[in-house]
Amino acid sequence: MKISLINASPKMGDSNTGFLLDALARHIAAGHALHRHNLGRGKGFPAEILREIAADDAIVLGFPLYVDALPSSLTALLIALEDCLKTESRHDRTVYAIINNGFYEGRQTCIAFEIVQNWCERAGVKFGGGIGQGADETIGILQKKKVPWRVWPFGRTERALIALARTMEEGAPFGIRYLTPAFPKFLFCFLATHFFWHPLAKKNGLHIKTLPKKENILMRTMHDPENL
């Protein structure tokens, strides 16, 4: 079987999407041909790459959730790919998606899954479902520190990726699995504030004490939305 894994994160260098796709690739049995493509921030793929993707039996769209939807570079790619898929009239190709998002709940990706499903219908390919992973910046942080997948808190993500690999090899539909990490939301908020947002603010020359409080931002917006 020929499988395309498309990383549609606009990030340069390491991306959370890339970590998920790398893990999926490791679980796909030897003997299947894997074609890896990085979309990045470029102007899409040349025609020969589009034709190669359209000729594969399974296509995995890996991407970060952007404002509840798809990064615009991916939307442009899907529009270009649609024509290639329609030209090759086959009805046995399946498209899966691995969507990751910054908020805690993987279910936030449900609208993006609907968009991918609608596109599949239009392009004449089968929609195979996939994985909607929440709190994915945490995965990125742990992966950079070489923490193995199978340990807490992302063991269930690894199990879902293994199940997805087996399902893809059969060309069967996977359904949609929405995943959250195995720790409570308050801990996620604490870690995100103190180990992500505050260091990021400092790196950009901001002082934590001078950052406006959430309540103040809300009040200001209610009284004067222009003032946000």
Ligand X SMILES: Cc1cc2nc3c(=O)[nH]c(=O)nc-3n(C[C@H](O)[C@H](O)[C@H](O)COP(=O)(O)O)c2cc1C
Residues forming contacts to ligand X in the complex (CB under 6 A) are 9, 11, 15-17, 64-68, 100-103, 108, 136-137, 140
| Of residues 15 and 180, the one with the C-beta less far from ligand X | 15
Quick one: tokens of 209?
């004490």
- To ligand X, the closest distance from the beta carbon of 71 in angstroms equals 8
Beta bridge partners of 36: 5
- To ligand X, the closest distance from the beta carbon of 16 in angstroms equals 4
| Of residues 4 and 15, the one with the C-beta less far from ligand X | 15
β-pairing verdict for 58-64 and 33-38: unpaired
Quick one: tokens of 38?
């990085």
Do 41 and 72 form a contact (C-beta atoms < 8 A)? no
| Of residues 129 and 140, the one with the C-beta less far from ligand X | 140
Q: Which amino acid is located at 169 in the chain?
A: E
CA 127/CA 97 separation, integer angstroms: 9
| Of residues 62 and 93, the one with the C-beta less far from ligand X | 62
- To ligand X, the closest distance from the beta carbon of 132 in angstroms equals 10
- To ligand X, the closest distance from the beta carbon of 195 in angstroms equals 14
DSSP string, 87-130: HS--S--EEEEEEE-SSS-GGGGHHHHHHHHHHHHHHT-EEEEE
| Of residues 62 and 84, the one with the C-beta less far from ligand X | 62
Do 173 and 219 form a contact (C-beta atoms < 8 A)? no
| Of residues 64 and 130, the one with the C-beta less far from ligand X | 64
- To ligand X, the closest distance from the beta carbon of 90 in angstroms equals 30
Which helix (DSSP H) or strand (DSSP E) does residue 177 occupy? strand 175-179
- To ligand X, the closest distance from the beta carbon of 17 in angstroms equals 3
CA 127/CA 94 separation, integer angstroms: 6
Do 76 and 39 form a contact (C-beta atoms < 8 A)? no
CA 173/CA 27 separation, integer angstroms: 17
- To ligand X, the closest distance from the beta carbon of 185 in angstroms equals 13
| Of residues 30 and 67, the one with the C-beta less far from ligand X | 67
Q: Which amino acid is located at 43 in the chain?
A: K
